[in-house]
Structure 1
Amino acid sequence: MDTSQNINLKTREEILETKLTLQQLQFNRVLEITQAINNNIAIADLFNLYKGLLTWEMGIKKFALYTRNKDAWVCATSAGIEEKCLKENIEAYLPHYQRRQSVDEPSHPLLQHFSVVVPVYHKEYAIAYTFLGSDTLDDLDSQGYDPISLISAITNVIAVAIENKRLFKRQLDQERLKREMELAVQVQNMLIPSELPNNDQYEFAGIYQPHEGVGGDYYDFFEVGSGEVAFCIADISGKGIAAALLMSNFQANLQTLVHRKYLSVKKFTNRLNSLVLRTTQGDKFITFFIARYHVRKKRLRYLCAGHNPPFMYTQGKIQRLDKGCTILGAFPKIPVIEFGEIFLEDDALFLLYTDGLTDLQNENDDYFDDDHVEQFIQKNSDLPVKAFNEKLMEEVNTFKGKRSFPDDISVLTGRLFVNSSKNTEA
């Protein structure tokens, strides 16, 4: 064998050895990253590992890795690029890169630094983009080694791992939200009375239908003592868990104040307003209606604080209970407070409701408005309150058709027996 043949043979052996070494390098790097992922390494540490492999192990002088953070693409790690360039928004360019390809944007402040982009897709949507500068890529290619294939493999492994971590975190967040919702439902169930009175002096029944599982509506009934009872309804601005928790605080304060017999209407209202303002810091407000009825005196006193005035039906006539003041929690001090006082001469039916009832629309965009409610009361005033509410919900569901409920709906229906045979004077 002559000298030239020996040299060629040695050269082929060296090339083969180099290729085997580089293939082993590729295998080892992917294995290293896989083991780190199995050890549940933090996302920030994964990015640092990725950067180290590209810069120290492979000698890549310029690169940028972009990953999705919620709804935006951000540079997760980079090398060789000035910070001001990395602040450039490149989201408009990303949809054009659906495979490994050249980057030809010589006038772009950031993209001009790169020659190749390697996108990573999960199913049909992109989860990462690696942009690479031309420096050192040609040198690695000349060694019979495809660096982009290795970078693509490493990027794929890391991007999928990060996506899985985010999906897992999202699942944990959803589980936490589910537990919070369950807690809020429990709080809501404690707010809304499970049983309302039905005796010879008065009967009450309620409807509670939250828009999002839990809501900010509330109604209640109290036996105050000394022959007096009270009933109320309230609605806090907003929906969901926060509204339910704020309303639970309102209920606790209300129950404390409503049993203070000698507290004037003005002091009662101002104290309740101050407590609401302290809790909500002015970010939310509460509309509220409360009535106190003295059974022996047949006297009804009420206050309507910015709420939809309830309906009272007695002696064949409908009256709106609209005396009161402004909403609670909007102002440090309520400027004008008045209360209504009515002495009942006959049995009276009351319909208290939140605006979810009258905001309801049908498929023709007509509202279930006050006129509609008045007509319903006149037609069904003789029904017991529980049957009255059942008929009301039938009417509501028929009216809305396929339309959904836009808001929480709460109704408290009550009847005070004054002269009927069912009444027993206290």
Structure 2
Amino acid sequence: MSNDPNALKERISDLEHELAVKEAELHRYRLELGKANQVLEKMIHQMGQELKMAQALQKKLSPTELPNVQGFEFSTKFLPGTRSGGDYFDIFEHEDKLKFGILISSATGYSLSSLLLSVIIKISSQMEARRGLEAHKVVSILAKDVLPNIQNEDRANIFYGVVDRRSYEFQYCSVGDIDGFHQIYGKDALSELIATGPSLGKDFNTEPQSRTIQLNPRDRLILATEGLKNSQNSLGVGWGGHNVMDAISKAPRQGVHELRNEILYANQKYSGKEDPVRDQTLIVTEVKDRVIKLAKN
């Protein structure tokens, strides 16, 4: 480095100028960061408000009272997710009072959920007028209304089943990822209600199909949306469908409410969270003894 005082002064002046430029740039970056943070906070607040509104809407739309169907007992639970959701369920009698339907659905986001809910409500209100339709035909109607409006990677899962109390046959159609199990009284093994088609999405081109099972006294049907099995523990490992089945199998043989609570408790114990990240819906249905016997006379 030169010992020339003038050269040193010039160098110091250059450094001071560079420092002033850097400080000006830093100030500008801080202002831009502050504005970006404000925008981000506003977006987070808006998303939070929309999430709260969606949760409130879903709670209002979910049935608060279940029909009193002779020969059957129901226990249901809907837990809204803290980050995402899209679940809906309903249990309703047909105009033919010896038939009733069970509907449970989930969607990947609240935007699609709102659409799906409106379509489901529309179909549910018309269900009696369309009495006698097979399960897969009802799902086909839902699919035709939903598919044209699905955006990007949105997916929807629907399970619809009809119980005929004349024969105690349960006909169902399941598209997507709704867990369904038939717990046969007196047997240890669970029968899985296999999906009859993929979830609804832009690539959906499947003709839904129905399946039929026979219900007997004290049999149970357990239906759950994917929010239950997809809940994760602290290591990020999902609970999985096998743990859903394990919780059902290990639960004491008590009432439907006790079984529902045992499943939810096992899930909460695994995840370590009181409130699920994603919506969870659980429906437990049990066939009772005496009305079946009367129906056979």
TM-score range, shorter chain: 0.7 to 0.9
What TM-score do the two structures reach when normalised by structure 2?
0.76
- Name 2:9's counterpart in structure 1: none
- Name 1:359's counterpart in structure 2: 230
1:242 equivalenced with 2:146 (yes/no):
no
5+ long unaligned stretches in structure 2: 1-14
Taking the aligned partners of 1:365 and 1:165, their CA distance within structure 2 comes to 30
1:226-237 aligned at under 5 Å gives the runs 226=96, 227-237=98-108
Point out which structure has higher relative CO (alpha carbons under 8 A, 6+ apart): 2
Write out per-residue CA displacement over residues 203-252 of structure 1, whole angstroms, 9 at most, x where no aligned residue: 22222223226621112111112111111211112x3x424423322322
CA separation of 1:164/1:279 partners in 2, compared to 1, >3 Å: closer, same or farther? closer
Match among 77, 83, 87 for residue 207 of structure 1:
77
User: Shift of the alpha carbon at 1:399?
Assistant: 2.3
- Name 2:209's counterpart in structure 1: 338
- Name 2:164's counterpart in structure 1: 294
User: Do 1:198 and 1:204's aligned partners in 2 also have CA atoms closer than 8 Å?
Assistant: no
SS of the equivalent of 1:225 reads coil
Write out per-residue CA displacement over residues 312-335 of structure 1, whole angstroms, 9 at most, x where no aligned residue: 11233321111522222434642x
1:185-224 aligned at under 5 Å gives the runs 185-197=55-67, 200-212=70-82, 215-224=85-94
User: Shift of the alpha carbon at 1:188?
Assistant: 0.9
Q: RMSD value over aligned CA atoms? A: 3.6
Taking the aligned partners of 2:284 and 2:250, their CA distance within structure 1 comes to 15
User: Shift of the alpha carbon at 1:372?
Assistant: 2.7
CA separation of 1:350/1:262 partners in 2, compared to 1, >3 Å: closer, same or farther? closer
Q: Which amino acid aligns with 1:193?
A: P
User: Shift of the alpha carbon at 1:292?
Assistant: 0.3
Q: Which amino acid aligns with 1:247?
A: L
5+ long unaligned stretches in structure 1: 1-99, 105-114, 129-158
Write out per-residue CA displacement over residues 108-137 of structure 1, whole angstroms, 9 at most, x where no aligned residue: xxxxxxx85653878xx8227xxxxxxxxx
CA separation of 1:341/1:329 partners in 2, compared to 1, >3 Å: closer, same or farther? same
SS of the equivalent of 1:346 reads coil
Percentage of identical aligned residues? 20
Match among 302, 305, 328 for residue 200 of structure 2:
328
1:242-321 aligned at under 5 Å gives the runs 242-256=111-125, 258-259=127-128, 260-281=130-151, 283-317=153-187, 318-321=190-193
Taking the aligned partners of 1:371 and 1:311, their CA distance within structure 2 comes to 12
- Name 1:409's counterpart in structure 2: 280
- Name 2:18's counterpart in structure 1: 103
- Name 1:391's counterpart in structure 2: 262
User: Shift of the alpha carbon at 1:409?
Assistant: 1.9
Q: Which amino acid aligns with 2:18?
A: V
- Name 1:378's counterpart in structure 2: 249
User: Shift of the alpha carbon at 1:166?
Assistant: 8.4
